[in-house]
Amino acid sequence: MALGFQRDLSGLDVQRKSVRELVTEADKAVEKYLVSEIIKRYPDHGILGEEQGERVGNEYRWLIDPIDGTTSFVHGEAYFGVSIGVEKAGAMVLGAVNFPATGEIFESEKGRGASCNGKAIRVSARDNLNDSVLATSFGCIGTTTADNNIAYFESINTEILSMRNLGSAALHLCYVGCGRLDGYWQVNIKPWDVAAGLLIVAEAGGKCSKFAGGPSDLSGDFIASNGKIHSEMVRRFKAVQIQVSS
- Domain ends where: 101, 120, 139? 120
pLDDT of residue 239: 93
Residues 143 and 78 in one domain: no
pLDDT of residue 243: 84
From 45, 94, 99, 98, select the one nearest 77 (Cα to Cα). 99
For residues 11 and 30, give the distance between their C-alpha atoms in angstroms, rounded to a whole number.
17
Residues 6 and 81 in one domain: yes
pLDDT of residue 194: 97
pLDDT of residue 110: 98
pLDDT of residue 126: 97
Q: Which of 27, 31, 50, 107 is catalytic?
A: 50
Residues 147 and 231 in one domain: yes
Examine the pLDDT at 72 and tell me if it is beyond 70.
yes
Q: Is residue 67 annotated as a catalytic residue, yes or no?
A: yes
For residues 38 and 155, give the distance between their C-alpha atoms in angstroms, rounded to a whole number.
43
CATH number at residue 7: 3.30.540.10
Residues 142 and 173 in one domain: yes
pLDDT of residue 146: 57
Lowest-pLDDT range of 4-18, 79-93, 103-117, 157-171: 4-18
Q: Is residue 50 annotated as a catalytic residue, yes or no?
A: yes
Record the pTM.
Answer: 0.93
The secondary structure of residue 86, as a DSSP letter, is E
**Could you tell me the residue range of the domain that residue 54 belongs to?**
2-120
Residues 67 and 174 in one domain: no
Give residue 9's pLDDT band: very low, low, confident or very high (50, 70, 90): confident
Q: Is residue 70 annotated as a catalytic residue, yes or no?
A: yes
CATH number at residue 234: 3.40.190.80
Residues 111 and 139 in one domain: no
Alpha-carbon distance values, 159 to 118, 132, 133, 225 (Å): 35, 9, 10, 16
Examine the pLDDT at 84 and tell me if it is beyond 70.
yes
Q: What is the pLDDT of residues 216-229, one digit of tens each?
A: 999 999 999 999 99
Q: What is the pLDDT of residues 41-69, one digit of tens each?
A: 999 999 999 998 899 999 999 999 999 99
Average pLDDT of the residues in 179-193: 95
Residues 32 and 101 in one domain: yes
Q: Is residue 193 annotated as a catalytic residue, yes or no?
A: yes
Examine the pLDDT at 91 and tell me if it is beyond 90.
yes
Residues 157 and 224 in one domain: yes
For 145, residues 6+ apart whose C-beta sits below 8 A from its C-beta are: 187, 188
Residues 136 and 116 in one domain: no
Average pLDDT of the residues in 202-211: 98
Q: Which of 27, 31, 51, 68 is catalytic?
A: 68
Residues 115 and 7 in one domain: yes
Q: How many domains does the chain have?
A: 2
Q: What is the pLDDT of residues 139-175, one digit of tens each?
A: 655 554 555 788 899 999 999 999 999 999 999 999 9
Q: Is residue 24 annotated as a catalytic residue, yes or no?
A: no
Alpha-carbon distance values, 56 to 53, 65, 100 (Å): 10, 17, 29
Q: Which of 38, 47, 67, 160 is catalytic?
A: 67
Q: Is residue 13 annotated as a catalytic residue, yes or no?
A: no
From 120, 112, 80, 119, select the one nearest 94 (Cα to Cα). 112
What percentage of the chain carries pLDDT values higher than 70? 95
Q: Which of 65, 87, 107, 221 is catalytic?
A: 65
